[in-house]
Every structure is written in C-alpha cells, then in structure tokens.
Amino acid sequence: MVKKEAQERHEGLIDFLNQFAQYQYNGKPKCKKLREQIGSRDLEKLDLDDINLGAIALTDFFNLTGGSIGSIDVYRLLQAYFLDKKKRELINEIIK
C-alpha cells in the first residue's frame, strides 16, 4: 500500500525532530508517529505530551525564545484548543 503524501510528510517530520535533544528523553525519541491523520473528532487521541511537543516545534519554527514568554503561552493555548471543545469554540468565535 502506498502511503499518502501527508502521511509520508508527517513521518519524515517526526524522524527529523527526533534527532534533536529537545525531542528526546534519555537519548530516546519522544515524538510519536500517528498511523493515520486525525480530524477534529479525534483530538482526544492527542495527549498532553504530544501537544507540548507540538508547541516546542512551533516555537522552533518561529524561532521564539520559548513557548511561554511574556503574555504568550503557546502551551496553554494549544492544550485548551485541542483538548477542550468549549474553549475551542470560544477561541474560534473570537477569531472570526
């Protein structure tokens, strides 16, 4: 079976991130490959560690000094958005 481009991209990104110390614990990779893409109905498949690793990746992408700096808290934002449906709805309403 041929993997979809998005799945291959996901797996390649995970492999890449796991090379770096902030994505390892005792030299072992922390980032997990998901076997398939998830949608909004499956957000409960994400755990706090996965979300926090995503926040770290986001701060790396934007070259921020951290995920919790000044009035910015990327960790709490992503945790609330992915794990709390009511907060996600409120955030979506605010950004309309």
Summarised one tens digit per residue, pLDDT across range 50-67 is 999 999 999 999 999 999
Residues 67 and 87 grouped into a single domain: yes
State how many domains the chain has. Answer: 2
Q: What is the pLDDT of residues 1-45, one digit of tens each?
A: 456 899 999 999 999 999 999 999 999 999 999 998 888 888 877
Range of the domain at 4: 1-37
Residues 91 and 44 grouped into a single domain: yes
Residues 57 and 15 grouped into a single domain: no
* Cα–Cα distance for residue pair 49/83, rounded to 1 Å: 12
Residues 33 and 58 grouped into a single domain: no
> pTM, whole model, 2 decimals?
0.85
In order of 1, 17, 57, 63, 82, the CA distances from 74 in angstroms are 37, 18, 11, 13, 12
Q: Letter for the amino acid at 56?
A: I
Count of other CB atoms within 10 angstroms of residue 51: 21
Residues 50 and 11 grouped into a single domain: no
Residues 5 and 24 grouped into a single domain: yes
Per-residue pLDDT, averaged over 61-77, amounts to 94
